[in-house]
Amino acid sequence: MKHRMTTRMTLLAVASLLAGCSMMPAYERPAAPVPGNWPYPTVITGTAAADLDWQNFFADARLRRLVDIALCNNRDLRVAVLNIEQARAQYDIRRADRFPTVGAAVTGSRTPAPGGGITSIYTAGLAITAWEIDLFGRVASLSEGALALYLGTEEGRKAAQISLVAAVATTWLSLVADDEQLELTRQTLATREESLRLTRLRFENGAASELDSRQAQSLFESARVAFAQQQRQRALDLNALALLLGQAVPQDVPVAATMASLVLPDLPAATPSEVLVRRPDVRQAEQQLIAANANIGAARAAFFPRISLTAGIGSASNELSGLFKGGSWGWTAAPQLLLPIFDAGRNSAGLRSANVSRDIAVAQYEKAIQSAFREVADALAGRATLGDQLEAQRNVVEAETVRMRLSQLRYDNGVASYLDLLDAQRSLFAAQQALIQTRLAQLQNQVLLYRALGGGWAGSAAPS
């Protein structure tokens, strides 16, 4: 008796030890294949983008309302949220595999007896069907992989929200620039129409040549071309914004803003190792790598015996009326051990596939790091240069404004030709357009830097 108890305790100890066994390789985060510092100067102080709510980054109430609408209605973001629910369900399925499935079972059978007649057997009770005792961690590895994929989809939702917030902001800024361009062109068109009228009067009275008249007409028609192009561009930007919002742009949310009135906060950029690890897309890639690593554990465990248990407890009787009478209760247990001997290389191929999948996941993680580094570096390059470009463009507009005024005086006094005046008008119009575009580029670059640094998902709930 003592020997039997010692043997039983030894077997239980071995089983407990094997139950904690895992074939998964130890996970190590790959080294980031990027430089340790940004190639452009960065701001040191301030709130990190990942900690700055988009409601605080965007001060304009109209823009904040549009972003809020998009977060509620955008279909891409809705798909990202549904992907989370699906991944959570898959994880719950894998986690449930680690526990026995217990169900109520009622069976009945009738078979011919050897001596003639019919033998009837009826059973009713609880049954455990093919529960795998996970001694080598196969089910646990699959469960951990499913958990990593679930966490990865959550990071994917954050990345989708970041992209959506930035897209709404940049598109709205484009609409602001469109309105400024249209107003500028509308004023220019009115000025050139008046100039064309006066030039034609001068031509009809012999004070100007037909060449002057045709040049004034060309300048006027060029402004009409620009006006039509800008109207079309505004319509396209409005359609793009409606797609992002998931509905028509509300009529009670007018653009009604100017580029000069829009101010966005400057953002600090810490070291790449601190910034990139907080980006949801990079974290999603890492969770996918963790899942691939877990699948290697499951593939390794497939080489070892798989133990499953089918058991039941309940009542059995030869007659249906005696099924629940006293003395009819009993139990059954049917353990099964399956040791792979020949599988035509299936397990070996599965392990090779799992290893390759992990290598692919490593490459995708490294690519996510490199892409994120480039996005931040590009935005920092824009911040380092667009300020100087904007200042220089303002100087160009000032110079062209003075030049056009002086050319008008020289033409009115007969000192300069009409061609000089037209050239000055064209140059001023082009400089004014470039100023609006440069200011737009600077504001959109600030939004892109906010997105590249991982800002835009904090401070708002996921859409339902």
**194 and 243 within one domain:** yes
The first and second tokens of residue 111, run together, are 């078979």
Neighbours of 241 (CB within 10 A): 21
**Is position 124 within any domain?**
yes
**Would you say 141 and 301 are in contact if contact means Cβ atoms under 8 Å apart?**
yes
HSE toward the beta carbon, residue 41, CA cutoff 13 A: 6
**Is position 24 within any domain?**
no
| Domain end call among 290, 319, 339 | 339
**312 and 182 within one domain:** no
**278 and 178 within one domain:** yes
Rounded Cα distance between 272 and 250, Å, is 40
**188 and 85 within one domain:** yes
Beta strands in 150-203 (DSSP E): none
Nearest to 425 by CA among 433, 414, 435, 437: 433
**Is position 371 within any domain?**
yes
The first and second tokens of residue 130, run together, are 């093919």
- Read off φ and ψ for residue 108, nearest 5 degrees: -150, 140
Compute CA 11 distance to the chain's CA centroid, rounded to the nearest angstrom.
Answer: 50
pLDDT at position 331: 72
**Would you say 175 and 238 are in contact if contact means Cβ atoms under 8 Å apart?**
yes
Tally of structural domains, the chain: 2
Residue-by-residue pLDDT tens, the chain, 464 positions: 444 444 444 433 444 444 456 788 888 899 889 998 888 877 767 788 888 999 999 988 899 999 999 999 988 888 888 888 888 888 788 787 777 777 777 777 777 767 666 777 767 777 777 777 778 888 888 888 989 989 999 999 999 999 999 999 999 999 999 999 999 999 999 988 888 898 888 888 887 888 888 888 888 999 999 999 999 999 999 999 999 999 999 887 767 778 888 889 888 888 888 888 889 999 999 999 999 999 898 888 888 888 777 777 777 766 666 666 655 677 777 777 777 887 788 888 988 999 999 999 999 999 999 999 999 999 999 999 999 999 999 999 999 999 999 998 988 888 888 888 888 999 999 999 999 999 999 999 999 999 999 988 875 544 44
DSSP state of 269: -
**115 and 48 within one domain:** no
**Would you say 367 and 405 are in contact if contact means Cβ atoms under 8 Å apart?**
no
pLDDT at position 115: 67
**399 and 252 within one domain:** yes
**Would you say 132 and 308 are in contact if contact means Cβ atoms under 8 Å apart?**
yes
**182 and 254 within one domain:** yes
**Would you say 119 and 293 are in contact if contact means Cβ atoms under 8 Å apart?**
no
Q: What CATH number should be reported for the domain holding residue 128?
A: 2.20.200.10
**Would you say 133 and 324 are in contact if contact means Cβ atoms under 8 Å apart?**
no
**Would you say 251 and 334 are in contact if contact means Cβ atoms under 8 Å apart?**
no
Question: How many residues are recorded in the chain?
Answer: 464
Alpha-carbon distances, residue 376 vs 29, 35, 40, 455 (angstroms): 21, 12, 10, 12
Neighbours of 23 (CB within 10 A): 20
**276 and 215 within one domain:** yes
Q: Which residues of 291-329 are buried (b: 16+ CB within 10 A; e: fewer)?
A: bbbbbbbbbbbbbbebbeeebbebbbbeeeeebeeeebe
**Is position 4 within any domain?**
no
| Domain end call among 339, 363, 388 | 339
pLDDT at position 434: 96
**255 and 141 within one domain:** yes
Alpha-carbon distances, residue 257 vs 63, 174, 175, 237 (angstroms): 10, 11, 10, 16
**Would you say 373 and 272 are in contact if contact means Cβ atoms under 8 Å apart?**
yes
Place of tokens 């973001």: 77
Rounded Cα distance between 278 and 457, Å, is 12
Q: What is the pTM of this model?
A: 0.83
**Would you say 449 and 383 are in contact if contact means Cβ atoms under 8 Å apart?**
yes
Nearest to 372 by CA among 282, 456, 271: 282
**Would you say 122 and 317 are in contact if contact means Cβ atoms under 8 Å apart?**
yes
Nearest to 443 by CA among 208, 253, 266, 250: 266
Structural domain including 109 reads 103-133+307-339
**319 and 350 within one domain:** no
The first and second tokens of residue 7, run together, are 């043997």
**Is position 10 within any domain?**
no
**Is position 51 within any domain?**
yes
Provide the residue type at 237 as one letter: D
**351 and 448 within one domain:** yes
Q: Which residues of 193-222 are buried (b: 16+ CB within 10 A; e: fewer)?
A: eebbeebbebbeeeebeeebbebbeebbee
Report the SS3 class of residue 12: helix
Rounded Cα distance between 285 and 275, Å, is 15
Compute CA 292 distance to the chain's CA centroid, rounded to the nearest angstrom.
Answer: 20
pLDDT at position 464: 44
**Is position 19 within any domain?**
no
**Is position 254 within any domain?**
yes
Nearest to 173 by CA among 264, 251, 252: 264
**235 and 258 within one domain:** yes
Rounded Cα distance between 102 and 128, Å, is 5
Nearest to 454 by CA among 373, 386, 385: 373
Rounded Cα distance between 124 and 128, Å, is 13
Q: What CATH number should be reported for the domain holding residue 447?
A: 1.20.1600.10
As beta bridge partners, residue 307 has 133, 337
Rounded Cα distance between 17 and 135, Å, is 8
